Chains A and B, each alone.
Chain A
């Protein structure tokens, strides 16, 4: 057999190059949860960006809804090895929320209702790479998927896309979040298969 035949159409889509190493394609949307699902009434919901000097920038639900939303279509990759391609979201880009925030911070610790945290470089929240997402496939984001709003930062493993997002603490020093302090990779790039510490 030749190495390459001209009519060869490659492997089926399920194992094609659009998936990062070690991932498989799923069509459903598995619910992963490390604790009870928080129920936050919208009139009490608040999102806060706090700088390294303690200056807080706050948005109510009404404030968030008043901002123009993006409708990104993105691939998502869970560290438990499932990937979903072409998912449709609606949310406010972090760039818009960060526009009036003055900071020298290089790191961000994302905090959720229910106590979950995850860390990432602040740079990864900028330049159209991250959103506060509140709709998924045309529906309000369901509580089990992080509603009313979750972080969406699809170029990293999905544990970084914190469900039930409540705020972002900007920091001069990095600080590991919930999974990053229990064996998972500090950065979590799916294309470099950075699942665990040392990968």
Chain B
């Protein structure tokens, strides 16, 4: 019973710390003209492919950190300074972006 409550508490704490990848729409919208949250990213850690909108985004931090929902590896980081932004995609093998038909 006690451990069950502790388990529940843990999920509470962790789920309060991240949001889904839709939270990236604003900061990424400053950089890209298209909506990157609908792109499919492939995790460099475990290979999982899924929409950027499903990543776990930690924003109560010095920057935006988007993690894989399967392995919690970092897929994308974004730091917004006063006159520069740093975008790190080393944790993403690829981004698949929907495009108009040629």
Residues of A at under 8 Å CB distance from B?
Answer: 30-37, 39, 79-80, 115, 143-144, 159, 179, 181-184, 195-196
Contacts and interface: CB of A to CB of B under 8 A. Distances in A.
A36 B17 contact: yes
A33 B62 contact: no
Given A33-B17, A36-B14, A182-B88, A159 B60 contact: no
Grouping DSSP codes into helix (H, G, I), strand (E, B) and loop, the B interface class, with mixed when no group exceeds half, is mixed
B67 interface: yes
Interface of B: 10, 13-14, 17-18, 58, 60-63, 65, 67, 72, 74, 77, 79, 81-82, 84-86, 88
Contacts of A184: 62-63, 79
A196 B82 contact: yes
A32 B65 contact: no
21 contacts: A31-B17, A32-B60, A32-B62, A33-B17, A33-B60, A34-B62, A34-B63, A35-B74, A36-B67, A37-B17, A39-B10, A80-B62, A143-B13, A179-B62, A179-B63, A182-B79, A182-B86, A183-B79, A184-B63, A184-B79, A195-B81
Contacts of B18: 36
A183 B63 contact: yes
Given A33-B58, A79-B62, A183 B86 contact: yes
Given A144-B13, A182-B86, A183-B84, A34 B65 contact: yes
Contacts of B14: 36-37
B58 to A, nearest CB: 5
Nearest to A30: B60
Contacts of B84: 183, 196
